[in-house]
Amino acid sequence: MTRGFGLVTVAVTLLLGSPVVAGAQAAPPSAQGLAVQRISFQAAIEQALARNPAIEQAASGIVRAEGLLQQTRALMLPSLAATLTTSTIGPVTEFAGESIVPRTQVNMGAAVSVPLLAPVRWAQRTQAGDQVLVSRRGAEDTRRQVAVATAEAYLAVIAARQLLELNERARENARAHYEFADERFRGGLGSKLNALRAQQELSSDEGRVEEARLAVRRAQEALGVLVAADRPLDAAEEPAFDVTGATEAAEAGADPAALAARPDLRLLTAREAAATRVVNDSWREYLPEASAVVAPQWITPTGLFAQSRSWSASILFAVPLFDAGERRGRAAERRGLLQLARAERLELERQAVSEVRTAREAVAASERALARARAAAEQANEVMTITDIAFREGATTNIEVLDAQRRARDAETAAAIVEHQLRRARLELLVALGKFPG
């Protein structure tokens, strides 16, 4: 899937006894004594988007960009500064009995500065506005990543639970076969070898059940971390990914312009636009700058030749003449960053189109494979039933029974895996088309 599509590994510690997860239902306590709550798919996505720390980090990035924009705007507005200076000198020089400069003097002043011509600052203000947009696009892409990661974790819980149920069913079949073989052996009608074979299969199935339980718990913990809960969460339902009309949309998705609404593409497009503006504004560094300064002043006590109140006004011009190639170097760096941003966008566009085609084929192939896998599982279970009946009637050995049980378990496991692949393929198709999260 798209870059950054990997599972987001962020966690938050909450106070015990916090409110129950929205949309969740109580589930039996786990083996560790901590209650595992059940949560709907939509509630999991909504809570992850509301509470996941990655979302808060993205929001803080927007606040920072807006703060930088405010700073650059302030540079274009008049500024006022006040000063207060107290000075004491000695010895005091006098003329005609009066002090030329008093021993202790207070000087109060102010300076009002107004930028008149500041092309570089004007450009920086616009560029800061571009960075705010980039931060917002980044927050949208972070929301997409968190939502996709939560959806994948939710599907992983469903798949792990299916495999647990399959292994538990296989264990019960193995237990029934062992009890029958052991009963025949104790009654003198069967062999100890048959009973040991059945017991070995039962022990193996019990080990698989424990492994499957651990896999379920790990998947539940991963879902709880993404949803920012203080406990593991279980899937309460199987999500229905509506891919109606997705095939036609996938055909239209062959054009990169049709995928422009994807958050990751919007992010790279915004970055490229910001880099383009920076490059285009490089010429402003060769323009002069001008500012006006008005500075009133008040002195007490006054000296012999000084006025208590005075003021000055000036207009300052600055023209950059020679910088040893610094501006050319900055311009070259900006062009390099622009080329990098453009290359990243083009690469992602090609990748996005490829993802749409791949996801479309994956959905079609998984649907066909699931139909065949379910048929194979039904056939394997039927073979197991017939073989078990034949063994009970003495027409075959328990080797055939054990082999049929293994084949049935493997066929059901394969069907569950394909079913999980189909769910993921549908999710990936919606993500590739920019339709998830909605």
Give the Cβ contact number of residue 27 at 10 Å: 16
Confidence at residue 102, expressed as pLDDT on a 0 to 100 scale: 85
Tell whether 249 is covered by a domain. yes
Positive or negative torsion for Cα 45, 46, 48, 49: positive
Each residue's pLDDT, cut to its tens digit, for the chain (438 residues) gives: 443 333 333 332 322 233 333 344 444 444 455 678 999 999 999 999 999 999 999 999 999 999 999 999 998 999 999 999 999 988 888 777 777 888 888 999 999 999 999 999 999 999 999 999 999 999 999 999 999 999 999 999 999 999 999 999 999 999 999 999 899 899 888 889 989 999 999 999 999 999 999 999 999 999 999 999 999 999 999 998 888 766 666 665 556 666 888 999 999 999 999 999 999 999 999 999 999 999 999 998 887 777 889 999 999 999 989 999 999 999 999 999 999 999 999 999 999 999 998 999 999 999 999 999 999 999 999 999 999 999 888 888 889 999 999 999 999 999 999 999 999 999 999 999 888 887
- Which residue(s) pair with 110 in the sheet? 82
Tell whether 10 is covered by a domain. no
Tell whether 1 is covered by a domain. no
The residue among 256, 242, 266, 240 whose CA lies nearest residue 356 is: 256
Q: What is the CA radius of gyration of the chain?
A: 37
Tell whether 96 is covered by a domain. yes
Tell whether 16 is covered by a domain. no
For the chain, the domain total comes to 1
- The residues, any chain, with a CB within 8 Å of residue 386's CB and separated by 6 or more, are none
Q: What is the pTM of this model?
A: 0.83
CA triplet 398, 400, 403: central angle to 5 degrees?
110
Q: Is 308 exposed, middle or buried (0-12, 13-18, 19+ CB in 10 A)?
A: exposed
CATH of the domain at 49: 1.20.1600.10
Confidence at residue 25, expressed as pLDDT on a 0 to 100 scale: 42
Task: For residue 185, give its domain range.
Answer: 24-432
Confidence at residue 18, expressed as pLDDT on a 0 to 100 scale: 34
Tell whether 6 is covered by a domain. no
Tell whether 13 is covered by a domain. no
For residue 421, give both structure tokens.
């692949």
Tell whether 425 is covered by a domain. yes
